[in-house]
Amino acid sequence: VDYLSSFKSLHENASSFFDKISTKYVENMSCREGCSQCCYNDDFKINSWEAAVITDWFLNLTPQMKSIFYTLWTKEQTKGLDLKGKESSPCAFLYEERCSIYSARPGNCRAQGVPLLIEDDVEHCPLNFIDLKVPKEDWLDKNRLNKLSNFAQMTFQKHNESEYFLKDNMVLMSKLKSHLMGLL
For the packed helices 48-59 and 142-159, what is the interaxial angle rounded to 10 degrees? 70
Output the smallest distance, CB 38 to ligand SF4, in A: 7
Q: Kindly report the CA angle at 79 between 40 and 116, in degrees rounded to 5?
A: 10
Per CB under 6 A, the list member of 35, 83, 99, 117 interacting with ligand SF4 is: 99
Which listed range, 4-12, 89-97, 117-125, 155-163, lies at the site for ligand SF4 (CB under 6 A)? 89-97
Question: 124 to 143, contacts with ligand SF4 by CB under 6 A?
Answer: none
Whether the CB-CB separation of 52 and 4 falls below 8 Å is answered with yes
Q: Is 101 in the site for ligand SF4 (CB under 6 A)?
A: yes
Question: Which class for 62: exposed (0-12), middle (13-18), buried (19 or more C-beta within 10 A)?
Answer: exposed
Whether the CB-CB separation of 31 and 125 falls below 8 Å is answered with yes
Q: Kindly report the CA angle at 103 between 89 and 74, in degrees rounded to 5?
A: 45
Q: At residue 80, what are phi and psi to the nearest 5 degrees?
A: -155, -175
Per CB under 6 A, the list member of 93, 129, 156, 165 interacting with ligand SF4 is: 93
Q: With CB under 6 A, what is the number of residues at the site for ligand SF4?
A: 9
Q: Is 171 in the site for ligand SF4 (CB under 6 A)?
A: no
Q: Is 105 in the site for ligand SF4 (CB under 6 A)?
A: yes
Per CB under 6 A, the list member of 10, 14, 29, 39 interacting with ligand SF4 is: 39
Which CB, 51 or 152, lies closer to ligand SF4? 51
Q: Is 176 in the site for ligand SF4 (CB under 6 A)?
A: no
What residues form DSSP beta bridges with 78?
Answer: none
Positions that interact with ligand SF4 (CB under 6 A): 39, 91, 93-94, 99, 101, 105-106, 109
